Structure 1
Amino acid sequence: MNLVHKIENWGDSHHPWFLDIVRISLGIFLLLKGINFMDNTAYLRGMIEDQSAVQISSGMLMVIVYYVTFAHMVGGILIALGTLTRLASIIQIPIVLGAVFLTGIFQDPINSMVWPSVTALVLLVIFTIIGSGPLSLDKYFAEE
């Protein structure tokens, strides 16, 4: 058995029930963040432009904005429902890691905007390892 299967089996057998509530909350948070970005794409675009070390073309910038928005919305739904949780978490990690650096963890660690991103990043890594848990669509479909 390779390392990925060992981690998957360990995560499936060591999953406390309260982490399902945390997973659902994280999924709803990411979904709401995606909806917020969809309502205000100028904010996300401005944040990326302000922090960008390299010049990004306007078209590529909009691709990034819509990718982040779509990934947050779809990933949030998948994580909240508990289906394809590991895949959705892996897709979210680079985005949230970018948010941690964009909000300035190294520039101003006291900044109140950075801590939700850091918390989401830690939870995404945890759910990448332990999976969806007993209160999920994955578990429901596996029993049938």
Structure 2
Amino acid sequence: MDTTVKGLNKWANAHSTIWFDAFRILLGAFLFYKGTYFVSNSGEFENLIAPASNFLGGMFAFHYVASAHIMGGIMIVFGLLTRWALIAQLPILIGALLINFIGEMNGINVLLSAIVLGLSMFYTVYGSGKHSADYYFKMQK
């Protein structure tokens, strides 16, 4: 496993462009925005997860989603422990896709959730890139 991750890091760093890092930063900023949006509009969040609230536990889901989006978004923007931050996002993003199929279908939300999930899976595999705290700390060794 360790050699696979190192190999992916080497490939990603060799092929990294400014766009690679820019999309990571935009992804983190979007997740941070959604986390703060959920905190400031908790009633809307409750309505959003109402179809699945029996499975998720409303307050637990609210606190997990908000804190994972806010802290994870900050970490992703700076490229600090990017893979771990994104792994914490994956269940939320999969749930965001599923909630559209359980409750009221909203095409824009499905598309947005799918794009964010795809980007998250990409950066979970390939890492944070050259312009990140992870890369900086790795080079300090």
The interval holding the TM-score normalised by the smaller chain is 0.7 to 0.9
Counting matched residue pairs gives 138
User: 1:9, CA displacement in angstroms?
Assistant: 4.0
Determine the structure 2 residue equivalent to 1:25: 26
Q: 2:110 aligns with which of 111, 114, 132?
A: 114
Name whichever of 12-21 and 62-71 sits farther off: 12-21
Identity %: 35
Which structure 2 segments of 5+ residues have no match? Answer: none
Could you say what the CA RMSD is over the residues aligned between the two structures, in angstroms?
2.3
1:16, 1:129 → 2: CA distance? 16
- The offset of 1:103, in angstroms, is 2.6
Measure, in 1, the Cα distance between the counterparts of 2:119 and 2:97: 13
**Counterpart check, 1:66 vs 2:67:** no
Name the SS of the counterpart of 1:62 in structure 2: helix
CA deviations over 1:92-142 (Å, ceiling 9, x no partner): 01101111111339x74x712221111100000000011111111112222
Q: Distance in 2 between matches of 1:139 and 1:22?
A: 16
Instruction: Give the structure with the larger helix fraction.
Output: 2
How far the C-alpha of 1:143 sits from its partner, in A, is: 2.7
Contact 1:20 1:132 in 2 (8 A): yes
Structure 1's 27 and 133: CA in aligned 2 closer, same or farther, altered over 3 A? same
Give the C-alpha shift of residue 4 in structure 1: 4.2
How far apart, in 1, do the equivalents of 2:114 and 2:55 lie? 26
Q: Give the structure-2-normalised TM-score.
A: 0.85
Q: What aligned pairs does 1:19-58 form with structure 2 within 5 A after superposition?
A: 19-49=20-50, 51-52=51-52, 55=54
2:133 counterpart of 1:132: no
TM-score norm. by structure 1 comes to 0.83
2:90: which partner in 1? 93
The 1:56/1:127 distance shift into structure 2, 3 A limit, reads: closer
